[in-house]
Structure 1
């Protein structure tokens, strides 16, 4: 296996995603963990809400207009992040996930940094995101990277909305 420090961040437009790139597995892990944290643990992908199953089954369609960033260790996808195309001067970061065995190596920070760069180059002035309030490690990471809590644009309880200028 490649040294854990030899991780490359690769940007792939959603419409250019390839089957077998490892993204589906990362998205499945992300959604399964999120549902479990919400107290709605499911046995497998088939138990997830339709919109999440669709992302996993066909990320190329789900993220067609977005940039998907993959952290690759050799040919293995070990992290992901989706950054939306700018709308009204804003892009949104979604689906940040690092494989558990690669956590603590700076991959999440590098993915967010690449997302900020991409958003700025694409014309966004602001990048926003939402995160569940129990994900305190993620909130701390976002704060270290310059994000601040802002008024919520989402009605779901326990969701923290954050943004930062690009």
Structure 2
């Protein structure tokens, strides 16, 4: 049975000592699932491409110029999202992940909403993101939150690029 405690959205790293590892486990789950969905499943983190292993091994360094938002149930991270620094008035949302045991509780929506508030406070006029086309639930979520499909800025096949004004 999933923990029913309230979930709080916080900026990481924060002050909670038990969330020191922050998003590492969530990022590992995100990347392992993504590799499997792309038909390139690997047995564990060691099989992931270097660029993803770096994020998992040291999220603080990997996202030093970005903001990491965590959803915490107590002191346990149950969701994460990265907001990149604003460049030319645009921020990007990436690595949105919610622990499967905590899905259906509005955590992803809360993380995206917090990212929009953060982006606007930092002077961004647009928030953009890319999502794999087979993640229909995620695309539906982003559309409900006001994102629209836009011309792709990424050359990878099967990515849907979306953006929203803040």
TM-score range, shorter chain: over 0.9
Corresponding residue number in structure 2 for 1:107: 107
- The 5-angstrom pairing of residues 1-166 of structure 1 reads 4-12=4-12, 20-166=20-166
* d(CA) in 1 for partners of 2:21, 2:3: 19
- Could you list the structure 1 runs, at least 4 aligned residues long, displaced by more than 2 angstroms after superposition: 1-5, 18-22
TM-score, structure 2 as length reference: 0.94
TM-score, structure 1 as length reference: 0.94
Q: 1:19 to 1:49 in 2, by over 3 A?
A: farther
Which structure 2 residue ranges, 5 or more long, are not aligned? none
Shift of 1:4: 2.5
Shift of 1:11: 1.1
Shift of 1:43: 0.2
Q: CA RMSD in A?
A: 2.0
Which structure 1 residue ranges, 5 or more long, are not aligned? none
User: Deviations 1:49-89 (Å, cap 9, x if unpaired)?
Assistant: 00000000011110001010000000100000000110000
Q: 1:19 to 1:107 in 2, by over 3 A?
A: closer
* d(CA) in 2 for partners of 1:131, 1:92: 12
* d(CA) in 2 for partners of 1:81, 1:48: 19
* d(CA) in 2 for partners of 1:19, 1:72: 8
Larger displacement relative to structure 2 (106-115 or 20-29): 20-29
Shift of 1:19: 7.4
Shift of 1:5: 4.8
Shift of 1:3: 5.2
* d(CA) in 2 for partners of 1:73, 1:144: 25
Shift of 1:20: 3.5
